[in-house]
Structures are given as C-alpha cells and as structure tokens.
Structure 1
C-alpha cells in the first residue's frame, strides 16, 4: 500500500494554538455546526473525522501496527474540552516501519468514530508524530463491562476544573489497549478545530471494557465532547 503523503509539522502546531485562542465548544453558538465560521477546513474539508466505518465496504491491505508503549509517569490535564494525558518521550506506534512517537492520549464521551452505525460510550485517542512531522491517531473504543484499571487511575487523578494539571504515576497504558491490533485505517482529520486534514487514522476493531460508573465519571467532568459524524466522501478504508 502506498504511504499517505501529507505535510503538517509546525503548521499543525501553530493551527492548534490558533484554535485554542478562539472560543469553541460542543454546543450552542460555538458548537460543531459553527466551527467552520472560524476554521474553514471544518466546513469545506472533504476528509473530515470522525466517520461511520461500514465494515462490509472495507478493503484489504491495511498497514502493520506494532505498539511500543510502556508504563510512565505523566501529566494529566483538563483543558476544558477533554481529559488529556501528556506522555514523556520514548513510546512509539510503528506503522509499516514508520515510528510515531506518542505525544498524548485523550478521551471522548460518547465515542466519535462509529462502526456499522454503532457509537461507543467512550473512546480514547492516542496521538503520535513521526520524525517528519506526520501525525497518526489510534482510536480505541470502549464497551460497558468490568472496571478498567488504567481508567481508574485517570479518574482518581484527573483535574475536575478546566485549565488544571495534575501528575499521574506509572500509567497502566497497556490496559487501555485491546489484545488484538486488527483495525480500520483511513485518511482523516483532527476531530476538533482547526480540523486539520492529512491525519492517518487507525481505529482498532476490538473494544475494551470500562464500568458504567467509570464512563459516567469521565462524562461528568468532560460533558458531551464528541463531534458529529462527517461524510465519508467515498474515502478508501482498509482493514486487517
């Protein structure tokens, strides 16, 4: 499979800072239907995320994925839009030989990407960047079930007020990942302003469990922070 070609680097970093300087939210006059007023790509982009993945339409030929994530001390912040864990250097997702260093992971309630029309109650996004400035996001969906140890760490340490940061020790990151790395892969965008495109998206097929009370605890702090589904526009989706 040909590798996706896109240039982000400093431009993406600056655009994210620009987005932070504008008021946006998930409802009301600054909600998703109005993001395009300040961030034109949110309105006119043709490879926007999240999407509904129709499994029967997925093609073969997905890239191989290896995750080299380990337990680390990290910082956890409530940035007013999500609960985000900022990770130290040295943790990687290897996608067809390309190494994407993990920068952070964050949560959405409910989930954003759908599979065959079904949206999960919770989704975590692992955001990585390679040495050339290219970005990849790995999405993991949750199902309601048993308590998740790593999620419990997050809940116990997360700031409940916006623009606050705490420290979290020995993050059990691998408990936020399923055993199988089979996935759906496609080109997409940031799911928040400025909706930058050219992001390599990987949505893992196998969900992981979290208890109802854990999902509710995150939702209580973050609120509804999921962008509505966007048009697929005949995008190629590959699977393994």
Structure 2
C-alpha cells in the first residue's frame, strides 16, 4: 500500500508543476504552510469537493489533475505552492480495497475538510458514518492525533437544507468521543456565491500555522520512519 501511494505522489509531481505567480484568494491562505502540507477534501459524491477545488483553490482548470487507477479509484489533486490539495469521493458500495485507500488518505493528511451536503437529508447518516468509520476510528488508518477537521456544510442556500448548527450537533456534539481533542469547526458555505468560503478556509489555514503542530509533525515523522524501516526490510529479504 505504501508503494501504491508513492507511485501516485511521484506521478502527480511529474505532471503537475505549480506556477507560484498564479494563485487565488483561497489558495493564498495556505502560502505560508509548511512544505509538503497535505489538505484532504473528502465527502460523499455531489457534496462540492470538485467545485471547491476547481473554482476556489485552483487558478486555472489545467492545474487540477485527475488520476484514475486500474481499480477505478479516482483522485483529484492540485499543488499550490507548499500545499497539496487532494479531493476524493467516499461512500457507497465499494470493495474493501477502497476502505484501505481511504483510511490511508485520512492518515497522511495534515488537515481534513469534510464536505457535507446540507440538502441531502437521505444520506446525512451515511456521511457521518463514513467520517467515523474511515476518518476517526479506523483500525489501521484514519486521522492522526491533532490534525484539524473542518466540516464544510455546502448547499446551505437550498430550501430544504439543514442549518449548520444542526449539522454541528449531529456531526460533532453527538460523536465527541470519536472527535477527541483535535481542532474542529463546522462552517456553512454557499459555493455558488462564495459566501463563507474564505472565512472557513482561513480557519483551517490558521490552525495549520498556529495549532498543535508539534503533535502532528512528531506523528508524521514516526509514520515516515516506520515506512522507511519497512522498505529497508523488504530490500534485505
């Protein structure tokens, strides 16, 4: 699995050069992030991940690259200065292999933006369960301790949409044991007009700069060291 993620990283690095002279107001919020910072945009399909990535974070359409693997895993990526943004659909019926891949995405992320469609009342429970199972309580993956979580509530302008405070109760207050002590925020946005987007992204960029990075960096270093040990052991055998 580690080699699989390495292949993806190398592929994107080779085809996705970033022109630092071109940026957007949203991507500039992350300009002072630590090198190789990874922000994961994840949620059920149609929750707004591609819109956020392509219309707010990306300076031009060709800056976003899409990888489709032989197992039909689809991952979108944008490199903006020191920060890499990855967007991925979670949920639905899928093979176990997808679960391992998704938990690996959560585990490698330095910040997670979990998008929730406020108008999709039929799948609100599924959205929460996916976050718990693969993001917060995964056995072999999931978010590292101290990694900030932004629950971005989209389509709040629609008539039948749940209010952000209702989403906060359902996603945060009711699963506080799973959330733990990580920095967490719920923010409602309108991706059609842009209302609330910069405020929400400002929170996560500021948290990356000023939050408990000693915890994040120490656990990330331990993960890297473990991967190197495993790689070296394979060479010996």
TM-score by length of 1: 0.26
